[in-house]
């Protein structure tokens, strides 16, 4: 790994970089049409009165080339909180240098330091490079769990029903 790579917590002035990396991730995942949030919303969730997410950036010199966005969840079975990775992304030109692994190790250490019972995330079933990467870290890819989601109008309709 290049000596000029470092991982630092995102700061308020980094929000434009984080948002640009989120857009790049959405493009990679072929989900750009689903990005509806704004930098202002991201700033509020990261640094507002009640932050709900955290972010670290991977820097190559003065350039942000990677990020991880995460938050705490909870396992009722373990009766302990966990660390949930929402997004991990390394720009294509910086891949293969160990940055993704460094970010994952950074988050694993945070999870251990914070007493988390587990560190987990989701991966798209077509993303074979990511699946192989996660398995190389020792992660289990759970075959029997599916993500369920209510968003937008479906969420509003369901919430409004009597």
pLDDT above 80 (res 21): yes
Where would I find the H helices in 48-90?
none
Rounded Cα distance between 138 and 14, Å, is 31
Residue whose entry in the numeric block shows the structure tokens 């932050």: 51
Higher pLDDT, 4 or 44: 44
8 Å CB contact between 42 and 18: yes
Q: Looking at the 3D structure of the chain, how many domains does it have?
A: 1
Confidence check: pLDDT of 2 > 80: no
Domain of 52, CATH number, reads 3.40.630.30
> Across the chain, how many H-helices and E-strands are there?
5, 5
Assess contact for 84 and 71: CB atoms under 8 A.
yes
Active centre residues (catalytic): 134
Residues 6+ apart with CB under 8 A from 129: none
> pTM of the full predicted structure?
0.93
Would you state the pLDDT for residue 159?
95
Residue 139's CB is within 10 A of a number of other CB atoms, namely 16
What is the domain range of residue 22? 5-160
């Amino acid at each position: 790994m290049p000596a000029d790579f470092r991982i630092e917590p995102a700061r308020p002035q980094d929000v434009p970089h984080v948002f640009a990396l989120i857009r790049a991730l959405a493009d990679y995942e072929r989900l750009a049409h689903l990005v509806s949030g704004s930098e202002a919303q991201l700033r509020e969730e990261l640094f507002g009165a009640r932050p709900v997410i955290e972010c670290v950036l991977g820097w190559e010199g003065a350039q942000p080339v990677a990020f991880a966005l995460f938050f705490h969840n909870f396992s009722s079975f373990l009766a302990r909180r966990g660390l949930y990775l929402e997004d991990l992304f390394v720009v294509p030109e910086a891949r293969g240098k160990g940055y993704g692994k460094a970010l994952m190790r950074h988050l694993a250490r945070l999870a251990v330091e914070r007493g988390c019972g587990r560190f987990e995330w989701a991966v798209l079933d077509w993303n074979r490079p990511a699946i192989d990467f996660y398995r190389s870290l020792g992660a289990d890819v759970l075959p029997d769990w599916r993500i369920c989601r209510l968003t937008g109008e479906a969420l509003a309709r369901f919430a409004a029903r009597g």
